[in-house]
């Protein structure tokens, strides 16, 4: 549900763009819709939780500034930079967390569910830094090498697909470094149950 809530400004951008036959007019209308949708997203989240997420605020500021410039100058150049700016800001934040604070961002987000060696957390955090950086460059390449329609499709489907692929690869990597304590404890419990059953049979 949270994923859908975070994704809906992008979805509205895509839907609005597809309503227009002229890509130039479509991207301008879609930008205006995305700005309003992002503002609404922040407002709804605050009304529900009495707080705002940093990611929502960063996205709101960037789309307001870059989207506003696009609407004011009627030039999609600026809105094309928005996905890159978001990804690079996340890359800097994840990188900075390795040197500032008690633990990297990935550990802060996942430590409650997964227990890993410290060096694995650091590698995982750096993997996200590389991923966000690469996504920023990929967006620029598509945005300024192909048509507006292809860029919008990449922004909606391509970046989402690449993110899901990265998460899957991350899960595979995590599985290789998961501690075996849980499995060992489970096996020990099973062995204990079998030994108890055998003892009962002997008593009988």
Q: Output the tens digit of pLDDT for each of the chain's 204 residues.
A: 665 677 889 999 999 999 999 999 999 999 999 999 999 999 998 999 889 888 888 889 999 999 999 999 999 999 999 999 999 999 999 999 888 877 888 878 776 667 777 788 888 899 999 999 999 999 999 999 999 999 999 999 999 999 999 999 988 888 886 766 544 444 444 444 434 344 233 333
- Measured CA to CA, the distance from residue 188 to residue 149 in angstroms comes to 58
Q: How many CB atoms lie within 10 A of CB 90?
A: 20
- Measured CA to CA, the distance from residue 126 to residue 75 in angstroms comes to 35
Decide: 145 and 163 in contact? Cβ < 8 Å: no
pLDDT at 106: 82
Between 82-96 and 118-145, two packed helices, what is the crossing angle to 10 degrees?
160
Kindly tell me the burial class for residue 110, based on how many C-beta atoms sit within 10 Å of its own C-beta (0-12, 13-18, 19 or more): middle
Decide: 178 and 186 in contact? Cβ < 8 Å: no
Q: How many CB atoms lie within 10 A of CB 199?
A: 10
Kindly tell me the burial class for residue 79, based on how many C-beta atoms sit within 10 Å of its own C-beta (0-12, 13-18, 19 or more): buried
pTM: 0.81
């Amino acid at each position: 549900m949270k994923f859908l809530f975070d994704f809906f400004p992008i979805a509205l951008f895509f839907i609005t763009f597809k309503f227009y036959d002229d890509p130039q007019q479509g991207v301008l209308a879609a930008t205006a819709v995305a700005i309003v949708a992002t503002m609404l997203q922040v407002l709804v989240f605050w009304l529900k939780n009495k707080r705002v997420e940093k990611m929502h605020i960063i996205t709101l500021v960037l789309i307001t500034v870059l989207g506003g410039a696009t609407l004011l100058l009627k030039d999609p150049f600026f809105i094309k930079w928005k996905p890159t700016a978001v990804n690079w800001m996340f890359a800097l934040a994840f990188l900075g967390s390795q040197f500032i604070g008690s633990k990297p961002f990935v550990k802060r987000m996942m430590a409650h569910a997964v227990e890993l060696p410290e060096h694995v957390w650091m590698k995982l955090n750096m993997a996200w830094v590389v991923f966000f950086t690469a996504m920023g460059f990929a967006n620029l390449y598509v945005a300024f090498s192909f048509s507006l329609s292809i860029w919008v499709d990449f922004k909606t489907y391509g970046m989402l697909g690449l993110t899901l692929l990265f998460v899957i690869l991350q899960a595979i990597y995590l599985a290789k470094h998961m501690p075996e304590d849980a499995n060992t404890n489970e096996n020990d419990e099973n062995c204990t149950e079998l030994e108890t059953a055998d003892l009962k049979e002997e008593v009988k």
